[in-house]
Structure 1
Amino acid sequence: MVTAEDIGRRVEDGAGRVGILRDVIPDYEDPAGLPGERRKRPTAFLWPEGGGREWLVPPESVKRA
């Protein structure tokens, strides 16, 4: 599992995708969800090394690459 100390480092998620850890938020609530259905959960934000679309995963599924 990664922590805020790993921000900026190269990491790999549980699906084998490699990227740069941008942030780890322990109580992230997705603003795209309906207000009554939102729930807070730990979230890691990863960014592809060569640029592209950021993706979100549970921090426990991420390790240093």
Structure 2
Amino acid sequence: MIDRNDIGHHVQDAHGRTGILRDIDPTWEDPSDPPGDRRQHEVAFISPERGGREWHADPTTVTRT
């Protein structure tokens, strides 16, 4: 599991994707959920090292590489 001390370092998610940890938000709500169905949960934001689309993952399934 990673934490805020790992921001800026290489990480790998549960699907084998690797990238740079950009942030961890402990109170993130998915904006695509209807307002009444939103719930807060912790997410890690990861971006590919050589550019591309950022993704998010459950921080408990992300490891530092």
| TM-score, scaled relative to structure 1 | 0.95
4+ residue runs of structure 1 moved beyond 3 angstroms?
A: none
Matched, 1:56 2:56: yes
Q: CA RMSD in A?
A: 0.7
Post-superposition offset of 1:32: 2.1
Q: TM-score, normalised to structure 2's length?
A: 0.95
Gaps of 5+ in 1: none
Q: How does 1:8-47 map to 2 (within 5 A)?
A: 8-47=8-47
Q: How many residues align?
A: 65
- CA deviation digits over 1:4-62, x for unaligned, max 9? 11000000001110000000111111122210111101100000011000001000000
**Ranges in structure 2 where 5+ consecutive residues have no aligned partner:** none
Q: Which of the two has greater helix per residue?
A: 2
Q: Distance in 1 between matches of 2:38 and 2:54?
A: 20
